[in-house]
Chains A and B, each alone.
Chain A
């Protein structure tokens, strides 16, 4: 029962689900080994069709809710957990969905590194390289023009112009550059120092463009970094097969989830207990869809191997867990100065690096403008990300020094986990 409630995206859904866990609310319910289904009368004429595939679990419901699982799914599962869903024959609407899923799952998995049609793949890659080169060349010219004519003149139409270019870069199959252009567009007119901010963003785009122009001369790892920034993705299978592998007990420093209109991104930061290596696991899901379960709770070890994506600053990795997660002691931390220095090292390897995990030792909360900062014993402070709700962190600290793991970016530190008396607390 609690497991079902644990699937709820928020307390309101959990509550609504409990309200629907009554046989009287349902018709046409049934269950097989692989699934359960039922019809639930909503406000409309047609009852909602709700189905759950148990192995995932995966959910389907014809209701308009964007929450996954929705209250109907939760209600149906609770009903089932109460033993109130009898075995039955899958109705057509549920069966077709389940069969589709089964078919997808059965598709043979490729061996690591194996490409379906190597010749076609090579041709595709070559075509893409040409498109990227052409797109970036056009962008280089545009940047030079803007700087010669002056960004000031471009104030009014900057936003549209940059977004148009971003779309152009998507066409040119350089989505990473497109993202950077959209960030630049967002800087226009924001704050009194926006011309400086815009120049920063454009100059780093210029840096990618010029690095790409001499890709062949770059050290291979830096070339990989540039390719990644442009938006070449590397197949998971290749990373698992060829990526650098590091075995360790990986401490889960914390996670950051960024929901978006279209895509939810989750970053899980790890640090090796013996190697001290840092790792980043990126997970994506369509908006409103559940993300994969976390490999561990923050503050626990995941024993296993990380396969790193190539690059000058290998961070992003894939995890192959080899043993169950374990409790871990409070991690050693850095002073604010040391922490900033570690970020500088990362910039030296990858000047485009924007996020960096920090573990701060013995820091205390302090007010900083409208927001908050963390201050270490030496009196050095780091501001917290503006707008981040610090109340949980404050409650845990109560003004006492604590260890905090967070994600550092130019805007500030986004705390992920803090430790109090050796006990990790997810923030």
Chain B
């Protein structure tokens, strides 16, 4: 596109001003053009020159190719599997996308790189897909993150390398990932790294980074967390209290246990509750919230929080069936639900479910998932008499254990066309594990009106084909 050809600019200025005023001079044009021009005029000369210019286009020089992304690509799965991926990215059965990515990764298959931009776009607003897309992008992650600022989350993949530069000079995503990775490998080193930069970080960053310490908590963290209880940021104090409540053997638990004992006395087959009269400074420091939500009185709310953050080993499972005096038993039950969830206690969860305890703002499903997966099917079978099945199973991680999948599909076979089961069917369609996809329900005839059953069978078949293609 350069007008660098000799004589061209002369033609242009002649054409601009008009040949009447400025007759064109052809002497400057290259010989080839002059010889062919004969007695032609300005437009003839310009036509020749134009074609010469276009033909004389030179390659660009001094360009720096992008550095190659280091590493190897995984082998690609069968073309049918790739076509299915493309169909999902095109809007068909898109909710199975995560399952495709997980299965492909588990089986050692790579993702065709041409689909990475669409995947990255998809994961932009869906955080739960991001780790999958990061794994899929492999060696291209950093690359893509730099090509499109909206895919910066892909930087997380790069930050898993143990490069301390990323901690000191990386962006927030890289630093977060770096700290997270270090916390997995060397919890003490992560604590040291965070302590060093602590005073200089913003409140949001402090709270965010501190939250990463939930993994591998040890008593070595206690001192730091205790000091964070005095942080100037409310959010940081809240995170620190939450973490301390989850740290077995910490002074925090001792303080809570003492508080519990001063407000609850088990005597003569009765739990006697004496609700707190005020919220002390030290209770507030330990993260107790003064403001009660709707539906519970202020003092009951303070007591609820004490029970919820007291270590479960300071309490007794028998209390679940002991009469309560001084407050509504539901206050205790919902607080124990909180405590069971906080401590991941299968024992308490089992007992609370068995006692049909009030779970407060939590769903029974949250207790259910604390049980070992092999107990889920039996528990759901019992609970479904009192709790909505969809709510119960909808909160369980997928894929379900085979027994639960089989049990729910068996129920759905019996349900006929009852629309009340539509929601369970749509949850089960996504959640039953690969082993159960070939359930007899997929071979039963569906009628005109069986919309939910037809959808269920369609999704089960789709997933079953997907697994076959990815093996």
Contact = CB atoms under 8 A, between A and B. Distances in A.
Q: How large is the interface on B (under 10, 10 to 19, 20 to 34, 35 or more residues)?
A: 35 or more
A148 B19 contact: yes
Given A8-B91, A351-B51, A398 B61 contact: no
Contact of B57 (A11, A340, A364, A423): A340
Interface in A361-392: 364-368, 373, 375, 379-383, 391-392
Contact of A195 (B12, B18, B42, B69): B12
B151 to A, nearest CB: 9
Given A11-B91, A375-B65, A199 B12 contact: yes
B147 interface: yes
B90 A347 contact: no
A391 B20 contact: no
A122 interface: no
A399 interface: yes
B147 A394 contact: yes
Given A203-B47, A381-B59, A400 B68 contact: yes
B426 to A, nearest CB: 14
B117 A383 contact: no
Contacts, number: 174
B113 A22 contact: no
Contact of A366 (B20, B63, B113, B448): B63
A192 to B, nearest CB: 11
B451 interface: yes
Nearest to B66: A399
A199 B46 contact: yes
A150 B57 contact: no
Interface string B374-385: 000000000000
Contacts of A410: 1, 54
Interface stretch (B137-145, B210-218, B256-264, B314-322): B137-145
Contact of B113 (A14, A84, A365, A398): A398
Nearest to B22: A150
B415 interface: no
Contact of B43 (A11, A15, A203, A395): A203
Given A15-B91, A398-B139, A382 B59 contact: yes
Nearest to A376: B59
B150 to A, nearest CB: 11
A293 B423 CA distance: 40
Interface residues of A, number: 69
Contact of A23 (B65, B112, B139, B448): B448
A380 B113 contact: no
B15 interface: yes
Nearest to A86: B448
B167 interface: no
Contact of B68 (A147, A153, A398): A398
B64 interface: yes
B60 interface: yes
Interface string A184-200: 00000000010110011
A149 B113 contact: no
6 closest cross-chain pairs (CB), A and B = A150-B18, A11-B91, A399-B68, A380-B59, A203-B46, A381-B60
Given A196-B12, A392-B114, A394-B143, 12 more contacts: A206-B47, A343-B57, A347-B54, A365-B66, A366-B63, A368-B60, A375-B63, A394-B144, A395-B144, A398-B113, A410-B1, A425-B113
Interface of B: 1, 3, 8-9, 11-12, 15-21, 41-44, 46-47, 49-51, 53-55, 57-69, 76, 87, 89-92, 112-114, 116-117, 139-140, 143-144, 147-148, 448-449, 451, 454, 458
Interface of A: 1-2, 5-6, 8, 11-12, 14-15, 18, 22-23, 82-84, 143-144, 147-153, 193, 195-196, 199-200, 202-204, 206-207, 210, 336-337, 340, 343-344, 347-348, 351, 364-368, 373, 375, 379-383, 391-392, 394-396, 398-400, 410, 420, 423, 425-427
7 contacts: A149-B18, A347-B51, A364-B65, A366-B66, A394-B143, A410-B54, A425-B113
